[in-house]
Amino acid sequence: MPEPMAAPRASNGGKNKGGAYVDRDKPAQIRFSNISAAKAVADAIRTSLGPKGMDKMIQDEKGDVTITNDGATILKQMQVLHPAAKMLVELSKAQDIEAGDGTTSVVVIAGALLDACSKLLQKGIHPTIISESFQKAVDKGVEVLTAMSRPVQLSDRETLLNSATTSLCSKVVSQYSSLLAPMSVDAVMRVIDPTTATSVDLQDIKIIKKLGGTIDDCELVDGLVLTQRVANTGVTRVEKAKIGLIQFCLSPPKTDMDNQIVVSDYAQMDRVLREERAYILNLVKQIKKAGCNVLLIQKSILRDALSDLALHFLNKMKIMVVKEIEREDIEFICKTIGTKPIAHIDHFTPEMLGTAELAEEVNLDGSGKLVKITGCSSPGKTVSIVVRGSNKLVIEEAERSIHDALCVIRCLVKKRALIAGGGAPEIELAVRLAEYSRTLAGMEAYCVRAYGDALEVIPSTLAENAGLNPISTVTELRNRHAQGDKMAGINVRKGGISNILEELVVQPLLVSISALTLATETVRSILKIDDVVRISILTH
């Protein structure tokens, strides 16, 4: 039996033959590489933070342009390749799902915490100690934020409006916050029961984008709005509407691909046409018999959902027709007007119809038409928001802004507490964590102190973006908070420091807690990574 060979020395970039690293500096290099990549993402959107933040113009590969300062939207469109940087994109997405607001703040906080980690690692502190200390710091931070917060009642409309307005202040459409904030509050309050609700399903609030007009023309409709126009019938307005929603076609049946009809003379052709006419007339008569006077027809890809002949018969019977209804809108339509989708003519009965006071086609001052169905007798607690704008960029940014405002109100429904904005919570956390670090010993105390100092990035960035001196502003804030003025924050409008609660700059507690915990979790994950293994498919 031959003697086993000794393993050869590693010579290929610090790897041995089995693929394990023998280079002791490798984990540190990987860590610093990950931290640098993630910090680069945070720095890219840092200038977009706050009401005076800058906007980004994003152009995709097709040439389509988006103008926004919403952190989640910017990061979603960025082509990020580094795996650690992708974690920050996912972090922003997670904050968007959890709270809907604070998507820029959460990434900026994560970037500052990673910067703190980098300095702590350079001082020789072990990553596990840093990670555990950060967890202690965030637990203490949540306690501090909760103690700072104030309870809010959903019946307090003024406070809800202040929260929505604060969210809209940093948007491109901020000058319209006096219109959009009440609209967002009313939309949420109409789809929930304020006494029992613990969350809001934003699927019950449909945002319809319609080009033309200005943002001043946006409106909240207590009912259903369809972007499809009324099919070319004479009926465009129906009172006491009985509405049917069909998922079958009002057109002659066609043979399948394998069969065909052979017509040998004109008499047979005439017979086929007569039978088609009788078939369609029978369908329309059954619809009329059920008492339906407004018909919604789902879009079909197989054949015409509505033939000209069927439209002619429906017109004669004074039935208003809206065709090309999208499949994904069916559930919302049924919930709003209390109808049921009908898949076959045999099921078209009066019980399947929904009722409403009025269904009409509305002219939008020369920029198109909409169908509105209002006064639904069995509303399923849904509303529609019509967003208008002079161009696509404005409409899309208005939609994102309204979505953020809706999410802020949803946060207050989930956790009924408010906290001051303007960098006040972050400075308070920094001061209280510095005090807390004195009760700890050794490296833990040092790490907790570094965590608190890193949170000062939010007020520092707010001041910088507002054209103030960040160092003097943060120093003054720190002194005010150390003296017990918990509500001292940056007043961007006046360009100084004031009691931010009196300025009505408030945000939901859930937004702050979510941003802090999610950012810390992501930083701890990045910190514990000591190698990046790329698996490639071997080709033989």
Q: Residue 234 belongs to a domain with what CATH number?
A: 3.50.7.10
- Of 407, 406, 415, give the one whose Cα is nearest residue 150: 415
> In the prediction, which pLDDT does 310 show?
84
| CATH (domain of 80) | 1.10.560.10
Please give the pLDDT value at position 505: 84
pLDDT, residue 14, reads 47
Of 66, 68, 70, 329, the active-site residue reads 70
Work out whether the CA dihedral 458, 463, 467, 470 comes out positive or negative.
Answer: negative
> Which pLDDT belongs to residue 257?
62
490 and 361 within one domain: no
236 is a catalytic site residue:
no
Note whether 347 and 236 are same-domain residues: yes
User: Are both 374 and 244 inside the same structural domain?
Assistant: yes
Q: What is the pLDDT of residue 259?
A: 67
**Percent helix, percent strand, percent coil in the chain, to nearest 5:** 50, 15, 35
For residue 8, what pLDDT is reported? 39
Regarding pTM above 0.85, the answer is no
Same domain (yes/no): 45, 96: yes
The 8-class DSSP code of residue 344 comes to S
Looking at residue 449, what is its pLDDT? Answer: 92
Of the candidates 378, 404, 433, which is a domain's last residue?
378
What confidence score (pLDDT) does residue 39 get?
87
| Active-site residue, from 66, 68, 73, 103 | 103
Of 96, 329, 404, 461, catalytic: 404
Contact residues for 211 (Cβ-Cβ < 8 A; gap 6+):
367, 368, 388, 389, 391, 392, 395
pLDDT confidence of residue 538:
57
- Is 437 found in the same domain as 354? no
How far CA 396 is from CA of 28, 201, 213, 266, in Å, comes to 43, 21, 14, 56
In the residue annotation, 166 being an active-site residue is answered as no
Would you state the pLDDT for residue 539?
54
In the prediction, which pLDDT does 192 show? 87
Q: Which helix (H) or strand (E) element contains residue 129?
A: helix 127-148
Mean pLDDT, each 10-residue run in order, the chain (540 residues): 41 46 70 86 88 86 84 84 88 88 90 92 90 92 91 88 87 86 91 84 89 88 87 81 87 69 76 82 87 87 76 87 88 88 87 89 81 79 89 88 90 89 90 91 90 92 89 91 88 83 86 93 88 69
Residue 8 in any domain: the answer is no
pLDDT score, position 12: 44
283 Cβ partners below 8 Å, 6+ apart? Answer: 250, 310, 345
CA-to-CA distance for 540 and 426, rounded, in angstroms?
56
If one counts the domains in the chain, the total is 2
Q: Does 368 lie in the same domain as 241?
A: yes
Give backbone dihedrals phi and psi of 256, rounded to 5 degrees, phi first.
-80, 180
Q: Which residue in this structure is represented by tokens 């507002």?
A: 466
What is the rounded CA–CA span in Å between residue 418 and residue 416? 7
Q: Report yes or no on 175 lying in a domain.
A: no
Catalytic residue among 68, 104, 165, 233: 104
Is 103 catalytic? The answer is yes
CB 343 within 8 A of CB 335: no
Residues 235, 131 share a domain: no
Please give the torsion angle defined by the CA atoms of residues 439, 442, 446 and 449, in that order, rounded to the nearest 10 degrees: -10
Quick one: 48 and 111 in the same domain? yes
Domain limits at 139?
Answer: 26-151+420-527
Q: Is 404 a catalytic residue?
A: yes
| Residue 12 identity | N
190 lies in a domain? Answer: no
